[in-house]
Amino acid sequence: MSIPIEHVISLSALLFVIGVVGALTRRNLIVILMSIELMLNAANLALVGFNRVWSVTAEGAARYDGQVFALMVIAVAAAEVAVGLGILLSLIRNRDSLNVDDASLLRW
Amino acid sequence: MPADPQWIEDALLRWIVFVPLGTALASGLLLAVFRRTLSSSLVVWMSCGSVFASFGLSSLSFAKLVGLFGEVPVDDVPPRVLIDTLYTWVGVGVGNSAFSADLAFRYDALSAVMCLVVTGVGFLIHVYSVGYMRADTRDDGGLQRFFCYLNLFIAAMLVLVLADNLLLMFLGWEGVGLCSYLLIGFWYGDRQNAYAGSKAFIVNRIGDFGFIVGILLLFWSMADAGQPAVSFRAIEAGFGSVASQTLALPGWLGGGEIGLATSIGLCFFLGAVGKSAQLPLFVWLPDAMAGPTPVSALIHAATMVTAGVYMAVRLSFLYEAAPGALVVIAWTGGVTAVFAALLATAQNDIKKVLAYSTISQLGYMFLAVGCGAYAIAIFHLVTHAFFKALLFMGAGAVIVATHHEQDMRRMGGLRKKLKLTYWVMVAGVLAICGFPGFSGFFSKDEILTSVFFAHELPGHVALYWMGVATAGLTAFYMFRLLFLTFHGKTRLPRGRRGELDDPEDTMMWPLQILAVLAVLGGIIGLPQFWGDRIGVAESNSLGHFLASVVRLGEPHALDAGVVAQLVGGVLAASITGFGLAYVLYISRPGLREKLEPVLGVPRRVVARRFYVDELYDAVFVRPLVIFSDRVLSRGIDAGLIDGRLVMGSAHAVRGLAAHVLKHLQSGLAQAYLLLMLAGTVALLAYLVT
Amino acid sequence: MEAEAFDVAALAPLGFVAIGALVTLMLEVVLSRRAFVGEGVDPETRLVARARIGIVLAFASSAAIVLAMYAAIYQFELGFETAFGPGRPMLQLDALSTFATALIGLGALLSVWLSITYLPALRINHGEYYALLLLSTAGMFVLVSAVDLISLYLGLELTSLPIYALAGFNRRRLRSNEAALKYFLMGAVASAVLLYGMALLYGATGHTDFTGISQGFAGGGGLALSGLALVIAGLAFKVSVVPFHQWTPDVYEGAPTSVTAFMAVTVKTAGFVVLMRFLVLALPEMGEKVSVLLGVLAGLSMLIGNLMAVVQDNVKRMLAYSAVAHAGYLMVGFAAGTPEAWTAVLFYLFVYLFMTVGVFCVVIALAQGGREWDSIEDFAGLASQRPALAAVMTLFLLSLAGIPGTAGFMAKFYLVVAAVDAGQIALVLILVGTSMVSFFYYLRLPVVMYMQKRRQDPDAETSSSEIVVLALCAAAILYFAFFAQADPFGTGVRALDVAGRAADFLH
């Protein structure tokens, strides 16, 4: 009747990998930020998916651990993006560029 | 806790350390934090006074200790150790492997001898420094800083020799290293000094690695046997049960097994090699001569460099169970003695000659340790402290008188101007060369006798002849020093010839006291053979005194013939050395130019110190820097970056790499991310499989 | 219910710093309004007003932290032992968490004191600094008592987000921007990895709380082990262990020094404590394999950190690599994994706090004229100009190197003894060997301080708040070198016993 858990997890793993590859390969900071969001959402998807497997306790009561966790993550992710964009803004103000490769003063 | 019968608590001991330590801290705090420069006379009185007080306290304890020797033994163990336990410093572990180390000082015969030398000679050198440094401190508070370090050094050295356990000894061990580092680099603004100071410290790291590993190995094996211990008495009591164990060597060392005692002994010996400047870690000591001369006399001749010998003797019970380690010690000492003596013949800097001479004499001491003649090693340590401190301070007097000339080629003829300096130097030279009756004669002769009779030592005949050769070389380079400096015509630049005179009295009277000690100091360890000749029933009091701490060997079967042979050999070598020096530097100086082409290559090799420094630089120092810089910094960190590593070596994955990794070539966040994720994948792979 | 009443008291430290953060935030707004209202205020007056506001805020945050520390110490002494959470434990208040809370509070307090004169010197004296610092501290308080993946994640993010902002606090400076950017990017990815690992652990075991995970774990399964790997990687990032360390040098160098000091001591403490709790509670049966893994991480960190530090010319960067090396030393304790090793790790963290804050405080004391003085040449001849500063710097460096007579030696000593007892001989040899290498770079500074001539002649004075921090750190380093287990003043407190009690959280 419902979608098997394997499918959900596969999708989430795929999303996570897409996020990872994006974070590794894209130069535009905004896109990198989006990729990171993708990774977080992949985790959210997995959490929600797994919650269906573990939806009742041994005593038969309902459990929402995964879903609650996902809700928390959504809230935190929003805060994270806000901080990230703030950092981007101050960088743009000093150096008119969104290219991650331009931030290479600190090295070795 | 009821004390063992042979342990007498004595709360006086701590003050031997605390008095100089407190003085150092007080004057250091005043100077650094409150920027209060004390008047120079107050500084002088404080620091010399504190060392003298320390000497007085050690003498008191010494008297007490000697008194104990007469007491009635309890359970056959005479009370022969004073101990002062402050509190429990560390206590770790549970059950079987629990151990605790006290902050405790111990005053037994060995500590007593060391303590008296450190404070006694230390006091004389302190007084000498007053005159030496007065002219020389360039900025405000320099004198205070100097004496602060010097007192701190004395305190650390006292901790080293008075420590009741290995941990506390290690504290002193590192402390003296630190102070020597500060004092070598005392004249800042001079890059060379800074470099020499660092070098001393860095080279000693290698030795300290051995020391620490030795301590750990000892703890670990003792704890393993259910007898965890750190204090010397506990180790000595319990070591027997683990002494016969063996360790399996790892494959890259060729496999096989090595005795536990031997491996521990070798680890500790590595520490001693670093601190006492033996082959192959001696390179720092000649460079350390960049420091002020009193520092060279105190630290690099009389006290700190002998710490390695002291440690070996302190752990003699361990070495007794490790004949293999003793062989290594004896050979290291013997080879170092010859090698350094050879190097000393080629030096022109008066302090460097003495530095190499110190290395050579320390080699003698280790040779004695290697033969199991621990008391004799200490005997030579004491006489060496007398005459080498004397020689260094005499050299210092020359240096002061000639306004900081150290090159002997520009001296000469100083005998008539620096009369007193000349005569004390002569005493020192005769003592170190083993002129019959002088202190060095007895101690060196005793060492060679032990080597001669050390039949269980492989190659003891060769070692004996090396010792004799060293004696000859010693006579050569010491008389060369004497002749070049004091005899012949003066080669000083004209402007400096006029006002030459012996330095002020504060510098001269310590020299005279030391000269007396250098001449007569042999009495404390006068061998029984000579004692019999002059009608002393019980001679070698030092040996008997030390017998409560170390094993004395069986007396050798000496008759007049053997003694004549032994003494004759050394004397012949010494006289040859003296004669050679006399011919080359006094009677026929022209001969040297003629010999120059013949001796060209060997001389050059010797003069470049056998290229040891270059070798070390090439083998250790540069690779470390290059490795860190090229491989790690540019290779790995920037690594994925300029792609040399990746592109160069991984053609197979080039297709993929070129697309993924080309973005990492700028050394940025994404390159880091890649490594991080690669690490994650590696973790994953490891855990899941 | 009685437990409910208890719960509120249990959260006192967290409450104090959280309220403190809000109060400082408000206070800044109110005070600036009063100071800057109206046109025609000249820049000079503005600067003075700012400085005054900064001092007020620093006092307010100090008060909050001191209260929190007091509460934590009180709880520790009471032997507090309570779980907090609706229906099931989210936070566990016990000896470990109260110990860590007090420790992190101390780090935060000292960092606040460091900032008082440093921020004006760098002309970045903005009020939100203290609020961010307090918020991050609150996050760490959550982190060290977390016994559930959810609270762990929340604590971690609450810790990290303010620090990202703090790292870029010197907004006009490109290097500070860059540090923030790199830290943010890598931190975000690391926490995403961590989060995904948590999701997998949850999927494999059905639990988000540590004990539930340990019950459901039962020796593994691919899903659970993958999750575990990702979680360890995410936490290893926070404590900057090789190969998750590469952000460390860049961020340490680029961030304002007071922020560097703050994160160097507090984040490291929090990270190691949570890692410890997670490993012990969630994976009690993962002995050998995880221990080997941690050992490899330890060895790599010691080697890479120490060798990389040798070639650095910037003091902050060198200290960053040294921090990587110290993370490696601490990981040796993790690889050993015995109760004595946990004690040693906690004691090490305690000592590490003093030496690290001290060393960064010296760097801060040199800052002036709107710039940092953090290259090695900037220290030349310091001993002749400011002898006390050079002396304490030498002390801190020697302690970091682990020379006997400093607390750093004792910390390493306990670690080594515990590791030897646990049979980690190879790691101990690496530890001792790389410590010897570390002298090579730690001593470069004393050499230039004592043996070179001063090139520039700055007239910066060590401010009184810095003097307090330096004196405290120096005194602590000397005191714990000799009295880690002794009690000369009859206070009834022995440092190692305290660490031992905290490490005894498993019973």
Give the integer Cα–Cα distance in Å for B687 and C228: 8
Which chain A residue's Cα is nearest to B631?
Answer: A108
Query: Is position A53 within any domain?
Result: yes
Question: Over 80: is that where the pLDDT of B450 sits?
Answer: yes
Query: Mutual orientation of helices C95-121 and C43-78 as an angle, nearest 10°?
Result: 170
- Greater model confidence, C141 or C484: C141
Does the CB of C304 have a partner CB in chain A at under 8 Å? no
Give the integer Cα–Cα distance in Å for C341 and C267: 20
Q: A87, A97, A105: which to substitute to probe chain C, counting the most C Cβ within 10 Å? A: A87
- Greater model confidence, B687 or B226: B687
Mean pLDDT of C230-236: 93
pLDDT digits (tens, 9 = 90+) for B300-317: 888 889 999 999 999 988
Give the integer Cα–Cα distance in Å for B572 and B464: 14
Average pLDDT, chain B: 79
From residue B442, how far is each of B380, B521, B566, B567 by CA, in Å? 9, 9, 12, 10
Cis peptide, bond prior to residue B280, ω within 30 of zero: yes
- Give the minimum alpha-carbon distance from A25 to chain C in angstroms, rounded to a whole number: 13
3-state secondary structure string across B222-290? HHHCCCCCCEHHHHHHHHCCCCCCEEECCHHHCCCEEEHHHHHHHHHHHHHHHHCCCCCCCCHHHHHHH
Contact indicator for C481, C325 with CB cutoff of 8 Å = no
Contact indicator for C387, C376 with CB cutoff of 8 Å = no
Does the CB of A106 have a partner CB in chain B at under 8 Å? no
Query: Is position A106 within any domain?
Result: no
- Give the minimum alpha-carbon distance from C165 to chain A in angstroms, rounded to a whole number: 7
B92 phi/psi in degrees, rounded to 5: -135, 170
From residue B229, how far is each of B90, B208, C107 by CA, in Å? 12, 20, 37
Chains in contact with B, where contact means 3 or more Cβ–Cβ distances below 8 Å, are A, C
CB contact under 8 Å between C428 and B627, yes or no, is no
Closest C-alpha to A23, from C68, C188, C118 = C188
pLDDT digits (tens, 9 = 90+) for A44-98: 999 999 988 888 877 778 888 889 999 999 999 999 999 999 999 888 888 887 8
The predicted pLDDT at position B566 comes to 81
Give the integer Cα–Cα distance in Å for B153 and B298: 10
Give residue limits of the domains in chain C: 305-507
Q: Between the CA atoms of C407, C411, C417 and C418, what dihedral angle is there, to the nearest 10 degrees? A: 160
Query: Is position A66 within any domain?
Result: yes
Parent domain of B643 = 615-688
CB contact under 8 Å between A25 and B660, yes or no, is yes
Does the CB of B628 have a partner CB in chain C at under 8 Å? yes
Q: Give the CATH number for residue A79.
A: 1.10.287.3510
Nearest by CB to C199, from A47, A100, A105: name it.
A47
Question: Over 60: is that where the pLDDT of C6 sits?
Answer: no
Per-residue buried b or exposed e for C450-472, using 16+ beta carbons within 10 Å of the residue's own CB: bbbebeeeeebebbebbbebbeb
Per-residue buried b or exposed e for C384-394, using 16+ beta carbons within 10 Å of the residue's own CB: bbbbbbbbbbb
Closest C-alpha to C420, from B212, B330, B146 = B212
Closest C-alpha to B292, from B377, B392, B431 = B392
Q: Which residues of A touch C164 (CB under 8 A)?
A: 83-84, 87
Mean pLDDT of C458-474: 86
CB contact under 8 Å between A42 and C150, yes or no, is no
The predicted pLDDT at position B461 comes to 86
Tell me which residues of chain B, numbers 438 to 477, contact chain C at a CB-CB cutoff of 8 Å: none
The predicted pLDDT at position C506 comes to 64
B526 phi/psi in degrees, rounded to 5: -55, 120
Mean pLDDT of B526-535: 75
Mean pLDDT of A14-27: 91
Q: What angle do CA C348, C350, C355 make, to 5 degrees?
A: 85
pLDDT digits (tens, 9 = 90+) for B322-370: 888 899 999 999 999 988 888 888 778 888 889 989 999 999 999 999 9
Question: Over 60: is that where the pLDDT of B425 sits?
Answer: yes
CB contact under 8 Å between B188 and C340, yes or no, is no
Average pLDDT, chain C: 87
Query: Is position B641 within any domain?
Result: yes
Q: Which residues of C touch A36 (CB under 8 A)?
A: 185, 188-189, 192
C417 phi/psi in degrees, rounded to 5: -60, -45
Q: Which residues of C touch B671 (CB under 8 A)?
A: 246
CB contact under 8 Å between A83 and C150, yes or no, is no
Count of domains in chain A? Answer: 1
Question: Over 70: is that where the pLDDT of B658 sits?
Answer: no
Nearest by CB to B193, from C182, C418, C451: name it.
C451
Nearest by CB to B687, from C236, C293, C421: name it.
C293
Q: What ipTM, to 2 d.p.?
A: 0.95
Give the integer Cα–Cα distance in Å for C354 and C66: 17
Least confident among B240-254, B432-446, B500-514, B603-617? B603-617
CB contact under 8 Å between A103 and C178, yes or no, is yes
Q: A47, A63, A98, A102: which to substitute to probe chain C, counting the most C Cβ within 10 Å? A: A47
Contact indicator for B284, B219 with CB cutoff of 8 Å = no
Question: Over 80: is that where the pLDDT of B254 sits?
Answer: no
Question: Over 90: is that where the pLDDT of C34 sits?
Answer: no
Q: Which residues of C touch B676 (CB under 8 A)?
A: 186, 189-190, 233, 237, 243-244, 246
Query: Is position B595 within any domain?
Result: no
Question: Over 80: is that where the pLDDT of B7 sits?
Answer: no
Q: Which residues of A touch B634 (CB under 8 A)?
A: 108
Contact indicator for B387, B439 with CB cutoff of 8 Å = yes
Residue keyed to tokens 């700190």: B304
Q: Which tokens in the block code for residue C340?
A: 């004595």
The predicted pLDDT at position B2 comes to 35
Q: Which tokens in the block code for residue B185?
A: 């680099």
- Give the minimum alpha-carbon distance from C154 to chain A in angstroms, rounded to a whole number: 8
**Which pLDDT band, with edges at 50, 70 and 90, does C84 fall under?**
confident
The predicted pLDDT at position B612 comes to 62
Which chain A residue's Cα is nearest to B633?
Answer: A108
Burial category of B49 from C-beta neighbours within 10 Å (exposed 0-12, middle 13-18, buried 19 and up)? middle
Tell me how crowded residue C26 is: count the other CB atoms within 10 A of its CB: 13
Residue keyed to tokens 């990032």: C237
Chains in contact with A, where contact means 3 or more Cβ–Cβ distances below 8 Å, are B, C
Share of chain B above pLDDT 70, in %: 80
Contact indicator for B685, C230 with CB cutoff of 8 Å = no
Q: Which residues of A touch B662 (CB under 8 A)?
A: none
Q: Which residues of A touch C180 (CB under 8 A)?
A: 87, 90-91
Give the integer Cα–Cα distance in Å for B188 and C448: 9
3-state secondary structure string across C340-376? HHHHHHHHHHHHHHHHHHHHHHHHHHHCECCECCCEH
Query: Is position B649 within any domain?
Result: yes
Give the integer Cα–Cα distance in Å for B370 and B269: 11
Highest mean pLDDT among B297-311, C22-36, C148-162: C148-162
Strands B7-9 and B81-92: parallel
Contact indicator for C413, B90 with CB cutoff of 8 Å = yes
CB contact under 8 Å between B90 and C484, yes or no, is yes
| B132-136 long-range contacts, CB within 8 A, separation 24+ | B132/B292, B132/B293, B132/B294, B132/B396, B132/B400, B132/B503, B132/B507, B133/B292, B133/B294, B134/B40, B135/B400, B136/B292
Least confident among B534-538, B643-647, C263-267, C499-503? B643-647
Give the integer Cα–Cα distance in Å for C225 and B680: 12
**Which pLDDT band, with edges at 50, 70 and 90, does B190 fall under?**
low
- The full DSSP string for C70-133 is HHHHHHHHHT--EEESSSS-SEEESHHHHHHHHHHHHHHHHHHHHHHHHHHHTT---THHHHHH
Bridge partners (DSSP) listed for residue B81? B7
Query: Mutual orientation of helices C268-282 and C222-238 as an angle, nearest 10°?
Result: 160
- Give the minimum alpha-carbon distance from C347 to chain B in angstroms, rounded to a whole number: 13
- Give the minimum alpha-carbon distance from A91 to chain C in angstroms, rounded to a whole number: 6
DSSP code for B611: G
The predicted pLDDT at position C234 comes to 93
Does the CB of C195 have a partner CB in chain B at under 8 Å? no
Question: Over 50: is that where the pLDDT of C402 sits?
Answer: yes
CB contact under 8 Å between A90 and C180, yes or no, is yes
The predicted pLDDT at position B635 comes to 41
Nearest by CB to B663, from A20, A25, A104: name it.
A25
Contact indicator for B81, B231 with CB cutoff of 8 Å = no
pLDDT digits (tens, 9 = 90+) for C309-366: 877 788 998 899 899 999 999 999 999 888 889 999 999 999 999 999 999 999 998 8
Residue keyed to tokens 């410093």: B89
Give the integer Cα–Cα distance in Å for B283 and B613: 7
**Which pLDDT band, with edges at 50, 70 and 90, does B576 fall under?**
confident
Does the CB of B636 have a partner CB in chain A at under 8 Å? no
The predicted pLDDT at position B664 comes to 39
CB contact under 8 Å between C186 and B103, yes or no, is no
- Greater model confidence, B547 or C347: C347
Query: Is position B45 within any domain?
Result: no
Closest C-alpha to C353, from C428, C245, C261, C419 = C261
Per-residue buried b or exposed e for B627-648, using 16+ beta carbons within 10 Å of the residue's own CB: ebbeebbbbbbbbbbbbebbbe
Query: Is position B642 within any domain?
Result: yes
- Greater model confidence, B542 or C231: C231
Query: Is position A108 within any domain?
Result: no
DSSP code for B137: -
Closest C-alpha to B55, from B173, B154, B133 = B154
The predicted pLDDT at position B391 comes to 92
Note the Cα C369 to chain centre separation in Å: 28
Parent domain of A46 = 5-98
Q: B102, B205, B215, B622: which to substitute to probe chain C, counting the most C Cβ within 10 Å? A: B205
Give the integer Cα–Cα distance in Å for B632 and C243: 13
Query: Is position B431 within any domain?
Result: no
